Structure 1
């Protein structure tokens, strides 16, 4: 499914795709919280929720990764990828620790509700992100008389020679 998810992300607007996928993941967390709170969670519903989460994640992961790359200048993309990996790993560790505290103090349903809220917060922020502008392509000077080939010109202006 990853191939189809990546193709979908390439075909759809990244910001919209990331925001909608985050909102759907939040909805899944809220549904899980409600099922747990009303003691209606069973194996079948858990498997359906897991399948929906997996399908959405095949679109969400590449959409968020590519959106992150769009937010920094091209020269900073490798650093942004590394920082994104660190933040993701730290989030997985800190999230599990916070969930353990929430389950111990407020119950399992509250932990799922907090998870749903975290997804909705991300979905609410995504529309306000501004991708960096791509560098303009180099201007092409008309060919010199007798050469027949165009001369690339730096984006800062005409060459001095």
Structure 2
């Protein structure tokens, strides 16, 4: 699957066009607009078709954050998310980053399992993170309140 996806880096001036993809993974337009022009954003192509986006930001010289990854619903569960993350891990490992982090809501049960399946480990919790969002978020009957942070060592 990894060879079948391609990541195309986007300039900051073309990112606004892809906000509908970012909204698939983050419920707040206001929050997205705060971070969408940071870091590296890529369009995800599968067999030449645009199927999503991924955004990486930089926390330090050693740490890159997987800030947002979103695939169209029809392309989920097919290994494309995993392949996209593997591409990102390889890219930033080559650029000498030592760690990649990613966060997801306490209510995002599928994401919690997914990040562990692709090799991330739970690291810490940002309590009350989702209180900054303008609207309450519920998933799986659970209110999103805390951000669970995961980490992956890129030096292994």
TM-score by length of 1: 0.26
Larger Cα-atom Rg: 1
TM-score, scaled to structure 2 = 0.26
Which of the pair is proportionally richer in helix? 1
